[in-house]
Amino acid sequence: MDRIALHTKVARGKEAEYAAAHDAIPTELVDALREAGVHTWRIWRDGQELFHVIECDDYAHMRNFLRDHPANVPWQARMSELLEVEDDYSGGDRGIVQVWELPDV
């Protein structure tokens, strides 16, 4: 299983809209994420900074699966209105590099 951390940035003044959008994730998108192998996706916000942690079967597969998915395309269009977007949704990224993790006992 892949655990990926991502960093994105909400556009200035769009923080409340971003939060509101995430209060009502479309069921079709949740179903598509599950079908793509996503187990968990958590997002934290500090000001404009967003930090995501995703646990999924295969991150590259998930990104490729969702790229043209009919539930994801309108969601990404909406997010592009709310985020400072630099991502082309290619699935080629590997997220933030992990530096350390508390070892299992």
Name the catalytic one among 7, 22, 39, 61.
22
Cα 72–chain centre separation: 11
d(CA 64, CA 49): 25
d(CA 76, CA 99): 29
**Whether 52 is catalytic:** no
Q: Residue 45's closest CA among 87, 17, 76, 73? A: 17
Active-site amino acid positions: 22
